[in-house]
Structure 1
Amino acid sequence: MQSTLRDLRQISVSHLVDTVKSPEPKIHYDEHVAYWKNTTGYHDYQLFLRRLNESVVGYTVPHPSDLADAASGNHSQAITDLITLLDTLDKWIDDSPAQKPGTTTPRFGNPTFRDYWGDRLIKESDHLLRTFLGPTYSTALRFVKPYFLESFGSFRRLDYGTGHETTFSLFLCTLMLIRVFHPHPPDERALVLRVFVRYLRLCWRLQDVYKLEPAGSHGVWGLDDYSFLPYLFGSGQLRDQTMVPVNAVLGIKIPKGAHPVDSFDNLYFMAIARIHQVKCGPFFEHSSQLYSIATHVQRWAKVNKGLFEMYQAEVLGKRVVVQHLPLGGLIEWDH
């Protein structure tokens, strides 16, 4: 089906002149959500997600040893460079103090996330992105930086949610629009199975170390407190298979001390395993939507289709989620 999807359009960096405004939040009222769904940027993003999804059908996440070697595979050098950038952000967690002297460890939202890790990201983002973009794409810095800064959680609210995950996906979309990455299956597949997996590992670690709260959690009727796209891409990987037995989905366990990324080669199963890491109690109580999918949907193709529709409605169509998205510039805010 990959060939039935058109290429994502290309935006020349030479067209990014000073008169083009940098992206900023534009969704303030419910009527803005309806407008957003009819913009060029929204449709570019939808096509981008569809192409990523098609690229991973029938493929698995590389073995952990291959994931550690960012240069392995036939993808572009930019993929390797972005993984290296994410590795750098991960190392900052080791450098940060656990908490300020004389303070107690907070149950949720460790201020060190804002005062050290976030502050460092803000201060060093220009250097990190200039190094990554290189001179060829340096003009695009102010158009991709707002997405980069909003991808890892809120430094003000000390939380993380599907809006931040979407912002990172939009960051990848902007880079493909200007052809840092290319709309070809090897790059698209690597963006999901290598870059996005590396991003997940980083964000899970940020959540654990800094005790980040879920951003606007939907509770038991939401798909997941923190993420959505792992389920979308994971069901895409399995789309051509029949549904596996329910116990194989809901009974996922990982060895003590192991990591979901190291234990599974499918993003859907990784995300389920992550839930078992952070939540207790019956699965049908704390993750009712995922339980319903596992017990009532018989084919992965139907799961994948339904999750696209749910993502459009429950993530991209909810003002409380998308009101913080930077829009304009490369993700064009025109009808």
Structure 2
Amino acid sequence: MAAENTESIPREEETQFDIESHEFLIPKKEVGPPPEIIPKWEKSQAYQDLVGFILAMNNAVKGKKISADSTMSPTVTQLIKLLETLDSWIAEFPPIDQPQRFGNAAFRDWFNKLQQNAKQLIEDMLEDKYKKSSEEISVYLVESFGNQTRIDYGTGHEMAFAAFLFCFYKIGVLTESDAEAVVLKVFNRYLHLVRNLQQTYRMEPAGSQGVWALDDHQFLPFIWGSSQLIGHPRIHPKSFVKPDIYETFAKDFMFLSCIKYINQVKTGPFAEHSNQLWNISGVPNWDKVNSGLVKMYKAEVLAKFPVIQHFMFGSLLTMHPAT
């Protein structure tokens, strides 16, 4: 296992990233059998960078509401605009009449448009000197919304979006001061988009859903959302299952937004359809919930071969040993 990761995102003065001389690559999968690829992955620079990014974002939103006045840099604004554009495309490809209940084939048409336009969308939001990165970064964007063949979506796709955001830090167009807005504005907008995709096209959960699953599709909003709730005077872990709490506060806290969404799409007692979350409601405080979820993410997402076998490695997120 790699050394303990610290909260870190590339700082402008530390990155020393030379955009002019850097050779970008089209990301590809790292082929290898399960017993070998996971230890190699856990010792890689990509693993260290992604975990460091997740922890840095986690720290940036501690005790912060979604409605907080965050610094809205041009890149943050452009990222939100990009997600709004993708959301608007859903209306162009309404679900088709088909015999099976799940996996509506119209998703493939939406996805085709994403594939065809991803590179240009990223080029359009970057200054000229950064445009050469668009081909590499666009791969992570395309990977962020589900599988075109299986019409499913899961934590591996969500992880690809985290990688997509990290790439903008790596090349220097996002900076440390953007962290709060990257989670509360950009990632939250992404969350609304993927929920729209899931509901419109009846997307199936990707991969096997064991007893560890928080919900069918997401994980990161529970980590960052629990950080938002640290120190909240009224909302405690035991109260997030109460309808008056998640209905009232869902707009300001991602964790509660997830609970509200789960209750909209699932029926029956919460303790039965979301047992792991029900167990979390028994944890005494949000600090413990947050640290526990980080450990769970490392064990149940980042250390799982079905997730890592699909992850793409390029020049910005590499399988080289961490330095």
Per the alignment, residue 317 of structure 2 pairs with 331
Q: Distance in 2 between matches of 1:243 and 1:292?
A: 20
Write out per-residue CA displacement over residues 143-198 of structure 1, whole angstroms, 9 at most, x where no aligned residue.
Answer: 201101100111111000000000001100011111111022xx100000000010
Distance 1:209 1:229, change over 3 A: same
Q: Distance in 1 between matches of 2:217 and 2:293?
A: 15
Contact 1:118–1:155 under 8 Å retained in 2: yes
Q: Distance in 1 between matches of 2:288 and 2:216?
A: 23
Per the alignment, residue 83 of structure 2 pairs with 86
Per-residue deviation, 1:96: 1.3
- Find the partner of 1:312 among 287, 292, 298: 298
Per the alignment, residue 204 of structure 2 pairs with 213
Write out per-residue CA displacement over residues 56-75 of structure 1, whole angstroms, 9 at most, x where no aligned residue.
Answer: 01110118xxxxxxxx7423
Per the alignment, residue 69 of structure 1 pairs with none
Per the alignment, residue 159 of structure 2 pairs with 166
Contact 2:78–2:125 under 8 Å retained in 1: yes
- Find the partner of 1:22 among 19, 26, 35: 26
Q: Distance in 2 between matches of 1:204 and 1:117?
A: 15
Write out per-residue CA displacement over residues 266-316 of structure 1, whole angstroms, 9 at most, x where no aligned residue.
Answer: 111111111101111111111111111102x10110111011111111001
Write out per-residue CA displacement over residues 32-75 of structure 1, whole angstroms, 9 at most, x where no aligned residue.
Answer: 11101111111111111111111101110118xxxxxxxx7423
Find the residue that maps to 2:144 and give its secondary structure: coil
Q: Distance in 2 between matches of 1:305 and 1:331?
A: 25
Q: Does 1:141 align with 2:131?
A: no
Per the alignment, residue 275 of structure 2 pairs with 288
Per the alignment, residue 276 of structure 1 pairs with 263
TM-score by length of 1: 0.87
Per-residue deviation, 1:138: 0.7
Moved over 3 A (4+): 4-7, 240-247, 260-263
Per-residue deviation, 1:253: 5.9
Contact 2:98–2:104 under 8 Å retained in 1: no
Q: Distance in 2 between matches of 1:261 and 1:129?
A: 36
Q: Does 1:74 align with 2:71?
A: yes
- Find the partner of 1:51 among 53, 56, 75: 56
Per-residue deviation, 1:142: 2.0
Distance 1:40 1:183, change over 3 A: same
Please, which moves more after superposition, 203-212 or 32-41?
Answer: 32-41
Any stretches of 5+ residues in structure 1 without a counterpart?
Answer: 64-71
Q: Distance in 1 between matches of 2:122 and 2:302?
A: 26
Equivalent AA in structure 1 for residue 43 of structure 2: N
Equivalent AA in structure 2 for residue 164 of structure 1: H
Paired positions, count: 311
Per the alignment, residue 67 of structure 1 pairs with none
Q: Distance in 2 between matches of 1:220 and 1:279?
A: 17
Contact 1:231–1:271 under 8 Å retained in 2: yes
Q: Distance in 1 between matches of 2:29 and 2:249?
A: 36
Per-residue deviation, 1:126: 2.1
TM-score by length of 2: 0.90
Q: Distance in 2 between matches of 1:168 and 1:275?
A: 21
Q: Does 1:123 align with 2:119?
A: no
Distance 1:331 1:203, change over 3 A: same
Q: Does 1:35 align with 2:72?
A: no
Equivalent AA in structure 1 for residue 22 of structure 2: L
Q: Distance in 2 between matches of 1:52 and 1:261?
A: 25
Equivalent AA in structure 2 for residue 240 of structure 1: G
Per the alignment, residue 94 of structure 2 pairs with 97
Per-residue deviation, 1:105: 5.4
Equivalent AA in structure 1 for residue 40 of structure 2: Y
Contact 2:230–2:286 under 8 Å retained in 1: yes
1:218-229 aligned within 5 A? 218-229=209-220
**RMSD of aligned Cα (Å):** 2.3
Contact 2:95–2:106 under 8 Å retained in 1: yes
Identity %: 38
Contact 1:56–1:192 under 8 Å retained in 2: yes
Equivalent AA in structure 2 for residue 21 of structure 1: L
Write out per-residue CA displacement over residues 219-273 of structure 1, whole angstroms, 9 at most, x where no aligned residue.
Answer: 5541111000010001111223479455621123699xxxx79943111111111
Q: Distance in 1 between matches of 2:30 and 2:244?
A: 42
Q: Distance in 2 between matches of 1:223 and 1:163?
A: 14
Per-residue deviation, 1:94: 1.0
Q: Does 1:112 align with 2:106?
A: yes
Contact 2:70–2:180 under 8 Å retained in 1: no
